[in-house]
Each structure stands twice: as structure tokens, then as C-alpha cells.
């Protein structure tokens, strides 16, 4: 892996010197044409390979028709102009924004649909979009990672905004296994690229604060494959569960709330109930503390058909669930329930209850148990998570708490620069930095820590509007600071 990343980085540096990043990102090694075959033709399956032209064409057409199904019916809510919060340096109509060039129609080889497909109603709609022109002078390219089909890169646009680029991974498993089976590099590229196109359409149709923003796309000819597709999206940070377990409960709750809002949206999307067949944490990213789904190529809209409840068994490694088979011949709520149980086993059970405020733990335990038993749907789960947010943000969870009655001396416009101690979970790994609703809660926290002798109230707030407070083990040195107020435990 290190060798591969080093090679990718070296290739990018060379490409910048030549003035073109895309030739490196999407330029596979060329294959010499067979005798009698034009340089632009697809290679035919070689001797001994399983399958053939017809099977590859069938798979391409199946994926093509899937994309078309998701594209029909007009754009989803919010379609049109992309979210430009991270692209504020690119003025409308400026050099970095353009309408993507119309894809060139090509004769479909082997009976497969033409490539690239013409943008359908669900594809990037009217209005300025980032296109190929925005990628001509990118800088700071970094390899982020790759999966079964795609590779992801981080680049900085000319104005300074950082975005993510996604493209088919030419050394990935999906393309490689197809080429080994069919021996048709271009046809296999189309097969893999339709997954990227499906994701692009779904990012547009499912627009939501917890779905990664699609900024644009680019078709560009490569050395031996015409019209390779690159999508340009919002950049997020990978979800690292070990790191999340070390963060504050407030930040972990935000992730669970984001997930609850996302699952509610997927259950009621313009396309119907959408399930994420691959629900691992690596399919999500964090953007400014919000959880967003980024990989949608394995999403499915169709509910599972059934003739009896025996067809409606929802299987997981630890347990199974049997769902009703409707009179219309569909397993009722299977897409929604699959999402909910995956949210429970990958996120809620680890992030929700631990180190939560004691008054909120009964409700949080109920949420975890209900999603683990699938007794709630997405609507009730979100309603309960929103209730937790209201109780926490408003301070109502403190109503039954008793004040310690301890007295503290106030020193305005001052701070204690040292004498930190560590607590868990903290917003700062080098000290004890916690959020509080009011001064009374800060006093209660300090009284509950054996080593606490003082605390410093900052002018910073968390995403819920709560004040951030440093708790200190002493106050031997108090220095001026106009943005903070120090409280010192009174003697006696």
C-alpha cells in the first residue's frame, strides 16, 4: 500500500509539471490493437476466457437501465445549482465554472448502450457546474483511498477550494476481474463507470444536508479509453471509529443525529425507500462535524419481492428478522429496516450511550434498544433523537439536578494558562475542556472532579450553542485575557 501511494504521489507531481492532472489520474496503459482491429476498437475475449461479448453487453445494459430508472421523473428536491459553500472563491460564470460539454454520442459496440450516456433528467441539471476547465490547474493532489471500483483523490482548485475527485480505479478489483474474464478493456471500463454514473445520479436526486454534495463532472479522453468519467464532489474526512470513541459525547451524538436524519430522508426519498447495501463506516465522511454518505453505487431503491414471509428474512451476522410480505408482493419496510439495524450495529451502539449526561441515558438506551430490535422505524427514531437534542440544547435535562451550593470567586477578563488536567471525554486532548449549559452546570462539573480547583469560561460555543469551559487543577497564575472569565473555588 505504501509503495502504491508513493507511486501515485510521484505520478501526480510529474503531471503537474506537464500541466495536466487528469492524464495521470485516468490514463491506463495502452493495449496494442490486434491484427485487423482499429486502435479504438474494444478487444475481443481471448481464448479460454469465460463469458463473451454478449454477456458483457448484457451486464452493461443492465447497469445502464438501472441508471436510467433513477434518472427518470425529473430532478429531486434541491436539484439545480450545486451547494457552493466550499466554492465561494469561484464566482458564477468565472473561469472555474462551466456547463459540462455535451457527451459525444458513439455507436454502441457489442450491442451495449452508447457511452457516455446522455445526461438524463436526474443528471446534473441546469446552472453553473464545475467541469473539465476547473481541473486544468489543480494543485496539491493526494491519493485518499480506493475501494472495489473507485479511487478517490483530493485536489485544490485554482481559487484554493479543496474538492474530491472520484474515478474508476484502473488497478482496482472491479475492472481487473472484468478484464480477466472478458478481455475487453473498454467494455469493462463502461461496466465499472456505470456504477460511478449511478452514484452521480443518486447524489443529485437525493440531495440532502447529510448526502455528499455533487459539484460537477468531467468526461475526458484517456490514452486508450475515450470519455473517462470523473466526478467532482464535496471533500470530507474519513470516519475513523477509534478516533470517534475518543471524542466528546456531544460530537458523537451529532454524528448519530446526522445519521438519523439521513435514514429518515432515505426512507421518504423522491425515488422511494432507498437502502444502503454497503453500510460500513468507510461509506461515510465527516464534513464540519456532520456525517454524510458518500458511496451510493451500492444503494438500492427496489423493495424485495415476495410470495410469503419466507422471502422476507432480513439477515445479519448476529441475528435475523422476519418482515411481513405485503398483498402487493413486496417485503414491507425491508429497505428502511436494513438501514436502521446497520445504523444500530455500526454507530448507535458505540457512540450514543457512553459518557452521555446521566439524565439523558434512559432515553438514549431506549433508542439503542429499539433500533437493535427494529421496533421503531426511521420516523420514530429521528423523533426521539430530536427530543434528545432539544433536552440537551435547552438545558431541560438539568431540571431535576441539585446544585452543590459551592461558592466560586469570579475574575473577569482573565484565564489560567497552565495547571491543566485530563478528563474523558474532552473537546481538547491536552486538558479538560467540556461544554456546559450554564454557570451552575460548570460548578457541578468542577465539584464532581476531585482535582478541579477552578474553571475558565471561554467565548467559544459548540454546535448546540453551549459554552466551552476549561477545568483547572489550580490557579497559581492568573493572567489577563479579555475573551475569558475565571472562576476559582472559594477557600473553606
End-to-end Cα spacing for the chain: 61
Q: Is 60 exceeded by the pLDDT of residue 138? A: yes
Owner of C-alpha cell 451486464:
59
The 3 state secondary structure assigned to 79-143 is CCCCCCHHHCCCCCCCCCCECCCCCCCCCCHHHCCCCCCCCCCCCCCCCCEECHHHHCCCEEEEE
Residue-wise burial string across 44-57, b where 16 or more C-beta atoms lie within 10 A, e elsewhere: ebeeeeeeebeebb
For the chain, the average pLDDT equals 80
Q: Tens digits of per-residue pLDDT, 175-204? A: 999 999 998 889 999 999 999 999 999 999
Q: How confident is the model at residue 223 (pLDDT cuts 50, 70, 90)?
A: low
Q: What architecture does CATH give domain 128-235?
A: 2-Layer Sandwich (3.30)
Which one is predicted more confidently, 159 or 102? 159
- The one catalytic residue among 221, 251, 278, 481: 278
The greatest distance separating any two alpha carbons of the chain, rounded to the nearest whole angstrom, comes to: 97
pLDDT, position 224: 79
Whole-number Å distance between alpha carbons of 177 and 179: 6
Beta bridge partners of 217: 231
Helix, strand, coil percentages, rounded to 5, for the chain = 35, 20, 45
Report the CATH fold assignment for 238-398: Transferase(Phosphotransferase); domain 1 (1.10.510)
Owner of C-alpha cell 460500513:
280
Q: Tens digits of per-residue pLDDT, 402-421? A: 666 788 999 999 999 999 99
Whole-number Å distance between alpha carbons of 206 and 215: 14
Whole-number Å distance between alpha carbons of 272 and 301: 6
Backbone angles phi, psi at 110, to 5 degrees: 55, 25
Q: How far is CA 302 from the centre of its chain?
A: 22
Q: Is 221 a catalytic residue?
A: no
Pull the grid cell for residue 480: 489577563
Q: Where are the CATH 3.50.4.10 domain residues in the chain?
A: 408-489
Report the CATH fold assignment for 408-489: Hepatocyte Growth Factor (3.50.4)
Q: Where are the CATH 1.10.510.10 domain residues in the chain?
A: 238-398
Whole-number Å distance between alpha carbons of 466 and 422: 20
Q: Where are the CATH 3.30.200.20 domain residues in the chain?
A: 128-235
Amino acid at each position: 500500500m505504501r509503495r502504491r501511494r508513493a507511486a501515485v504521489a510521484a505520478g501526480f507531481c510529474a503531471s503537474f509539471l506537464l500541466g495536466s492532472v487528469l492524464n495521470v489520474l485516468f490514463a491506463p496503459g495502452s493495449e496494442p490493437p490486434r491484427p485487423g482491429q482499429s486502435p479504438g476498437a474494444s478487444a475481443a475475449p481471448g481464448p479460454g476466457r469465460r463469458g463473451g461479448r454478449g454477456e458483457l453487453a448484457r451486464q452493461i445494459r443492465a447497469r445502464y437501465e438501472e441508471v436510467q430508472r433513477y434518472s427518470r421523473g425529473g430532478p429531486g428536491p434541491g436539484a439545480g445549482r450545486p451547494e457552493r459553500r466550499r466554492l465561494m472563491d469561484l464566482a458564477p460564470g468565472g473561469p472555474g465554472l462551466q456547463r459540462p460539454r455535451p457527451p459525444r454520442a458513439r455507436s454502441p459496440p457489442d450491442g451495449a448502450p452508447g457511452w457516455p450516456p446522455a445526461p438524463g433528467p436526474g443528471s446534473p441539471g441546469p446552472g453553473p457546474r464545475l467541469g473539465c476547465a476547473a481541473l486544468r490547474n489543480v494543485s496539491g493532489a493526494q491519493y485518499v483511498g480506493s475501494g472495489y471500483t473507485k479511487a478517490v483523490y483530493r485536489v485544490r482548485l485554482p481559487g484554493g477550494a479543496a474538492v474530491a475527485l472520484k474515478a474508476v480505479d484502473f488497478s482496482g478489483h472491479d475492472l481487473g476481474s472484468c478484464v480477466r474474464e472478458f478481455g475487453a478493456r473498454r467494455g469493462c471500463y463502461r461496466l465499472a463507470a456505470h456504477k460511478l454514473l449511478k452514484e452521480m445520479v443518486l447524489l443529485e436526486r437525493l440531495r440532502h444536508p447529510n448526502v455528499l454534495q455533487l459539484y460537477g463532472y468531467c468526461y475526458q479522453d484517456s490514452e486508450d479509453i475515450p470519455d473517462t468519467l470523473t466526478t467532482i464532489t464535496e471533500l470530507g474526512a474519513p470516519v475513523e471509529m477509534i478516533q470517534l470513541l475518543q471524542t466528546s459525547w456531544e460530537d458523537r451524538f451529532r454524528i448519530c443525529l446526522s445519521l438519523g436524519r439521513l435514514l429518515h430522508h432515505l426512507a421518504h426519498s423522491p425515488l422511494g425507500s432507498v437502502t444502503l447495501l454497503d453500510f460500513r463506516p468507510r461509506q461515510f465522511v465527516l464534513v464540519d462535524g456532520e456525517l454524510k454518505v458518500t458511496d451510493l453505487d451500492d444503494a438500492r431503491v427496489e423493495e424485495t419481492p415476495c410470495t410469503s414471509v419466507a422471502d422476507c428474512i432480513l439477515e445479519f451476522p448476529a441475528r435475523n428478522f422476519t418482515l411481513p410480505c405485503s398483498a402487493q408482493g413486496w417485503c414491507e419496510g425491508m429497505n428502511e429496516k436494513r438501514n436502521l439495524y446497520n445504523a444500530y450495529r455500526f454507530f448507535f451502539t458505540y457512540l450514543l450511550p457512553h459518557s452521555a449526561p446521566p439524565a439523558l441515558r434512559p432515553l438514549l438506551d431506549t433508542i439503542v434498544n429499539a433500533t437493535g430490535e427494529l421496533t421503531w422505524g426511521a420516523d420514530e427514531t429521528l423523533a426521539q433523537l430530536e427530543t434528545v437534542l432539544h433536552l440537551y440544547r435547552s438545558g431541560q435535562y438539568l431540571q431535576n439536578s441539585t446544585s452543590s451550593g459551592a461558592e466560586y470567586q469570579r475574575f473577569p477578563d482573565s484565564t489560567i494558562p497552565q495547571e491543566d488536567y485530563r478528563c474523558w471525554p474532552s473537546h481538547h486532548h491536552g486538558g479538560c475542556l467540556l461544554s456546559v449549559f450554564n454557570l451552575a452546570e460548570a460548578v457541578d462539573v468542577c465539584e464532581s472532579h476531585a482535582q478541579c480547583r477552578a474553571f475558565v469560561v471561554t467565548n467559544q460555543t459548540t454546535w448546540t450553542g453551549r459554552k466551552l469551559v476549561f477545568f483547572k487543577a489550580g490557579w497559581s497564575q492568573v493572567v489577563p485575557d479579555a475573551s475569558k472569565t475565571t472562576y476559582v473555588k472559594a477557600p473553606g
